Copies of this chain bind each other. A is one copy, B any other.
Amino acid sequence: MATPYNQIAGQSVERLAALSDGIFAVAMTLLVLDLHTPLSEAIHGDAALWHALAAMAPQMVAYLMSFLTLGIFWTGQQAQLNCFERSDRHLSWLHLAFLFAVTLMPFSTHLLAEFITLRAALIVYWANILLLGAVLFASWRYALRAKLLKQEVSHEIECAVERRIVVAQALYAAGAALCLVNTYISIAVIVLVQLNFAIAPRVRYLQGI
């Protein structure tokens, strides 16, 4: 079924990991370009600079949130890549689609920082997170079906990866839905969900996830 060319294309998990690390590194660092320093003409002393920095709080929150998002999905993709025995061209392109969603994150973040009170900005941001999760879910399902996983990956881990993605996306969707009430509440809930996944506190209800 495989043509000769496709036998040699997209085989290397290592190269995929290297490209992914590179794209995450650039996307994570580009986020900071959103943090514009205050204009020097407008600042005439320490007090004015502290005020200007305090006024940047929304951008800082959007920046921190996006770094958390990228950190979570980097960890999630890494966990998958570590489980792959080998890759094929379909899996390779699924991860390129995932990386496409990663490169969109600085744009979505900038949109949210600029229009933090508008639901449209929050929905675009959430759609970006949804895309990241959906492609990662598809990648895992495909790898299972195409038997690309290492032998030592137990059925328990297979289920845990899927459950983790579904639960996380459900929580993000719930958080995003709160934008019907207020975008700030929505952002606060999303950040709390993210901190939970990053810090992994020993909360009883979430421990089994």
Q: Measuring CB to CB, which residues of chain A are less than 8 angstroms from any residue of chain B? A: 3-12, 15, 17-19, 21-33, 35, 37-38, 40, 43, 45-46, 49-50, 53, 64, 67, 71, 74-76, 78-79, 81-83, 89-90, 92-93, 96, 99-100, 103-104, 106-107, 110-111, 114-115, 118-121, 124, 153-154, 156-157, 159-161, 163-164, 198-200, 207-209
Contacts and interface: CB of A to CB of B under 8 A. Distances in A.
A198 B35 CA distance: 29
Interface of A is mostly: helix
Contacts of A121: 49
Nearest to A110: B37
Q: How many copies does the complex hold?
A: 4
A18 B19 contact: no
Contacts of A154: 4
A8 B8 CA distance: 28
Contact of A29 (B26, B35, B160): B26
Contacts of A38: 114
Nearest to A122: B46
A107 B157 contact: no
A101 B12 CA distance: 23
Contacts of A37: 107, 110-111, 114-115
